[in-house]
Chain A
Amino acid sequence: MKRLLLFSTLFITIVLTLALTGRPTQALPEYATQTGEPCATCHLSPSGGGLRTPRGQAWVGAGKPGTVPGLTESLALLGVHLEVDESAYVAAPGPVPPAEPLRLKAGQAKALHDWLKDYEGN
């Protein structure tokens, strides 16, 4: 009963809010209104808030100006030069060769230890 009451109160509140303000529900939060951009320009989330995209980060870094810099401009603002050959991340069509049979010589522990020991990891 209590729950019902709560929900009906909430419902009435929402209806009243809508009726009195006459605003559409899709009114944009502050920054979207200010910049004229959808939330997803700056946030990973399409509904806004939370983690930011590179453009969002650059916009914050630039002191939240009136417009959101484009992606290239954003990377420049953040001092990032990114050159990536995107084709390297795409697989060529065609079958994958079958795995080679196992033919390793055993007893390589010392060599492996030395290899990992000298590996900086980064």
Chain B
Amino acid sequence: MEKISRRDFIRIGATVTAAGAALAAASGTRSLLEKGGAPVVGRGGAMAAPPLDETWVKTTCALCPSGCGLVVRVVDGKAVKIEGNPLHPLNQGVCCLRGQAALEMLYSPERLPRPRLQTGERGNGDWREISWDEALALVADRLSALRAAGQAHTVVFLHGETRGQMRALINRFMTAYGSPNVISQDSLDEQAARLATFLTQGINGIPVYDLNNARYVMTFGGNLLEASRHVIGYLGALAFMRRGRPDRGKLVAVHPRLSLTGVKADEWVPIRPGTYGALALGLANVIVNSGLYDEDFVRDFTFGFDDFEDEAGNLHMGFKRLVLERYPLDRVESITGVPAADIARLAGEFATNRPAVAVMPTGPGGLASGNSLYTAMAVHALNALVGSIDVPGGVWVQRFPRLADWPDWTPDPVAEAGLAQERVDGAGSDALPLALSAYQNVADRVLPAPVGAAQVADEPYPVNALFLYNANPVYDAPNGSRFAEALRKVPFVVSFASTLDESAAHADLILPASTFLEVWGDDYIEGTGYAGVSLRRPVVEPVHDTRDPGDVLLSLAAMLGGPLADALPWRSYKELVEYRLSAIDVDRDKFEENGVWSEMVYFNAAPGSPAWGNVVGRDRLNAPKDGRFDLFSRELFAALAQGSSDDLDCLPHFDLPATVESGDAATYPFLLVTQTLITQPRSWEGILPTLQEAYGLQTNMKWSSWVEINPRAAEALGVKKGDLVWVESAVGRVQVPVRLYEGLWPNAVYMPPGQGHRTLVKWGRGSKANVVIGANPNRLLVAGTEPLDGVAAVSPTRVRIYKA
């Protein structure tokens, strides 16, 4: 650090003041008027100002899936500062930059103040503001008519992140209405991680990693410290792993790009995009071959390590033979580009520094290579090999509180008929049997196939109405322009957007959602292992005439009556939440006062103990709940139509992503990597100006997008820092400035997701309104869908780069 010179500060610092300062001094005087009576920090320290009448209100953040507890400073009915709630066990009083910037969301000039109806042709932007009564009547009439016509199943509900009871409310609403089409954005990523955990460990959930106690952490993917599900918990835990305890743990980050996670890791392992699975299996090869695995655990608490015979006497391949025969180091090196010596060393370190934990790629874009299910299974298998299941420093299972049972209701014949229909996204069909959602498929199911392409599937039925909640497919789905086309084809589109995002622009009706700082709600505490709930409540009066989508759905249920009213008998979302939480054994006053309740302690189940069944096998349907971690997935064996015709179907294995293997490398030589930055709010589509001003830390880019290119590749291309280039894929192109970055796989290029929104607001002096800030890399992604689990297969997309 002593190497930093004064010149470095001048070079890096954003203030460009060094030259000509003395000259400018002459013009530095100002008129008294311009001072505007601003108070000053006077001599002798702080001035004696009277204390303001202020209150601090506890609530829960919703800008990313961490769901941190917040305390908001409210003065004169305005929220003016946000801090972390010290009593929330995940964030413990800290608050990340997104939470800090949530005030800019609450008071955003981009917010839609009241419901609006598109009057002209869809997408043209002719809007008329209407009252909530009128808006709700429009929706209820349409839903009633469709239901009466036996078309209930043609109503589709697309949603993104849901918090607390909201997902259950949406599902319940749509089930009682009679449509199977609740389609979650999970298929853009998280679905693979959840399913892999289920198919191996038998737990339907996202694993929690106990970094506090781990000695060795290997994270696949670059998101852990920026965009993982429990990012705030992991930041605190990693600090503790390093400096809080006597033995410092080691963090290794495997990713094609040196992300913040890689920078802050003890070691960065650059890897060819899309090949995490091969590396995990190569590591397993070394651990098995050298006998460094946990023999007792593998023998007693896993299934399918050695070759085995089934009841009929057929021989099946076990995990051991799989990795020894198929993933020797030279092969893994040639696939991943990680030197064999490094793989051997990393495997040795991982197996001998226990507790060690291997972290699945998490967060947006982490698992979207078309081989994500088996990749996640391969990574998770490493945890079983070293016996890290439910031990301190290993993989924990998130527990949830038991809440009051949902009231009984009986579906009517309309609902039954509707629910019996196939889903419009194809999830659960023979082609995608284990998919719970296939969000990216919706456009292709609504639209006829493009000229020259095969129809993805027979269009099962036309979609007559579509709801959008926390979802902006025109922006966030691969090849979103097709979604815009699809939305135009659906006769009735309703959006709950808070701002006029790209998809809402194609809606007939926008029912603007209140922000999380204006509503009641609950949030499960996740990332700690133990169960807990954090309360959400309005910190200020609603800024605009907006409503919580939970309240809107309950109003609609009441208006529609019948099974909907039976299934959802509450008048408000607040009542619903209060009912559900009523079963928690907690001192209500304390709960209210603290804003949060949790069990505070995680108990680790010893293998074979009575509680072990809760951490291995709990959620299995067909596979036995025998407390064994499936290296050979019995659940998958049962699910597949042909059973065991190929053992590889049930074992974690690796296939090169189609784009890497067979893509048009001559035309599109680069592999596009995207990875969410910590400066990107996860569930807000508008501009948060302060996050824009902190946007690209490594490249010092503000209010902009860029493409990162390895300097060697840039030299070959003949482009320099700052050059404007086109980044073009088979489906689209975007224009961005070049940034040279050494921390990048040589033929990978990186673009930050999250930019490319149009803003109607003039943000700051000299700036223009109605411009697009940065560029949206999703426009380059070629839509594909992974077999079995329906996860979007989009990365790495092949691109080429040329000067604009």
CB within 8 Å of B: which residues of A? 2-3, 6, 43-47, 49-52, 54, 57, 60-61, 75-82, 84, 86-92, 96, 99-117, 119-122
Q: Is B624 an interface residue (CB 8 A)?
A: yes
- Take A104-B637, A109-B434, A112-B638 as given contacts and tell me if A44 and B240 are in contact as well, using a CB distance cutoff of 8 Å: yes
B105 → A minimal CB distance (Å) = 26
Chain B residues with Cβ below 8 Å from A82 are: 599-601
From B236, B433, B644, contact of A50 by CB (8 A) = B236
> Does residue B74 face the partner (Cβ distance < 8 Å to A)?
no
What is the bound-complex CA distance between A80 and B585, given in angstroms? 8
Are A121 and B612 closer than 8 Å at their CB atoms? no
Most-contacted residue by chain A among B2, B87, B436, B600 (CB, 10 A) = B600
- Give CA–CA (A50, B91) in the complex, Å: 11
Output the nearest chain B residue to A104 by Cβ-Cβ distance: B638
Tell me what chain B mostly uses at the interface: helix, strand, loop, or mixed: loop
User: What is the interface of chain B, defined by CB distance below 8 A to chain A?
Assistant: 2, 86-87, 89, 92-93, 167-168, 198, 204-205, 212, 236-237, 239-240, 243-246, 300-301, 303, 308-312, 316, 400, 427-428, 430, 433-436, 524, 585-587, 589-591, 594, 597-601, 603-612, 619, 621-624, 626, 628, 634-635, 637-644
- Contact present for A6 and B605 (CB under 8 Å): no
Count chain B CB atoms within 10 A of each CB in A77, A81, A104 and give the residue with the most: A104
B434 touches A113 (CB 8 A): yes
Beyond A84-B603, A89-B605, A101-B310, is A51–B212 a contact (Cβ under 8 Å)? yes
Q: Work out how many contacts link A and B, with CB atoms closer than 8 A.
A: 182
A-chain residues with CB within 8 Å of residue B237 when the two chains form the complex: 51
- On chain B, the residues within 8 Å of A99 by CB distance are 303, 308, 626, 628
A93 to chain B, nearest CB (A): 9
Given A107-B643, A120-B168, verify A79-B591 contact (CB < 8 Å): yes
Give 5 nearest A-B pairs by CB, closest first.
A79-B590, A106-B643, A45-B244, A122-B400, A109-B433
Task: Check if A80 sits within 8 Å of B240, measured CB to CB.
Answer: no
Interface centre among A103, A108, A116, A122 (most CB of B within 10 A): A122
Are A60 and B87 in contact, CB atoms less than 8 angstroms apart? yes
Q: What are 9 contact pairs spanning A and B, CB under 8 A?
A: A50-B240, A51-B239, A57-B92, A92-B608, A92-B609, A96-B301, A106-B637, A106-B642, A112-B622
> Given A45-B245, A91-B607, A92-B608: A115 and B586 within 8 A (CB)?
no
For residue B201, give the distance in angstroms from its CB to the closest CB of chain A.
14
Q: Which residues of B contact A77 (CB under 8 A)?
A: 590
Give chain A residues whose Cβ lies under 8 Å from the Cβ of B610.
87-89
In whole angstroms, how far apart are the Cα atoms of A82 and B2 in the complex? Answer: 51
Knowing A80-B598, A88-B610, A115-B621 touch, does A61 contact B240 (C-beta < 8 A)? no
Residue of A nearest to B87 (CB): A61
Residues of chain B with a CB closer than 8 A to A75's CB: 600
| Contact indicator A104/B634 (Cβ below 8 Å) | yes
Most buried by A among B205, B594, B642: B594
Shortest Cβ distance from residue A97 to the other chain B in the assembled complex, whole angstroms: 8
Cα A90 to Cα B603 with chains together (Å): 10
